[in-house]
Structure 1
Amino acid sequence: MPKAYWIFNATITDPDTYRKYVERDGEAFAKYGARFLVRGGDAVVVEGSARARHVIIEFENLAVARACYDSPEYQAASVFRRAGAVTDLIIVEGVT
């Protein structure tokens, strides 16, 4: 079964509120075995447009990635993400 990834792009509009998300999201990520591959860092837009912050998180498979997103732990944290940033988040299956 292939790995799955959250691909997350954000423009933070309220750093204090967004920080509350970051303080709370770790519980869900630990519970579902998430592994951060990209977390911020310098980025160069070579085509199109992009938000200011980029995160890629690896999960065991698509079902686990989706379960993490749907979990009560993540949904409770995500309230602060939605209030403190404009975001795009997709969950995608990797190659086999």
Structure 2
Amino acid sequence: MTAYALAHLRRSESVHPAVLEYMARVQDTLDPFGGRFLVHGGVLDVKEGDWPGDVVLVEFPDMERARAWYASPAYQEILPLRADHLAGELVLVDGVAPGHSAAAKAARLAGS
């Protein structure tokens, strides 16, 4: 099942040079694990709540490869370039199977 790395990164007045280096190098860490950007910043149309920052969404073939990417020496080497200079959160999350139904999930939860 497809998995995703989802980051919510806070905006800052200027982009630190280390963050620019991270951006220049991150794709090379994703490639061995089949990671690809689906969203990388862009215009947000916030409909509910407050969203102070940008969204980054990377798709992986499965959770095993998403976790392997995050734990990889190549990614761990560049992670401080971003994390030390740009506040935010990053989560790894499984996608849903084809044919997923929110109504069916609600019914399962109601029966629990």
Number of aligned positions between the proteins: 95
The structure in which a higher percent of residues are strand is: 1
Aligned twin of 1:50: 51
Map of 2:62 onto structure 1: 61
CA distance in 2, matches of 1:39, 1:45: 16
Q: Give 1:8-47 correspondences, 5 Å limit.
A: 8-13=7-12, 15=15, 16-47=17-48
Which protein has greater RCO, CA pairs closer than 8 Å, 6+ apart? 1
SS at match of 1:65: helix
Structure index of larger Rg: 2
**Structure 1 stretch 9-18 or stretch 32-41: which is displaced more?**
9-18
> Which consecutive unaligned segments of at least 5 residues does structure 1 have?
none
- What is the CA RMSD across the aligned residues, in angstroms? 1.3
Q: Assess if the C-alpha contact under 8 Å between 1:6 and 1:65 holds in 2.
A: yes
- Per-residue deviation, 1:59: 0.2
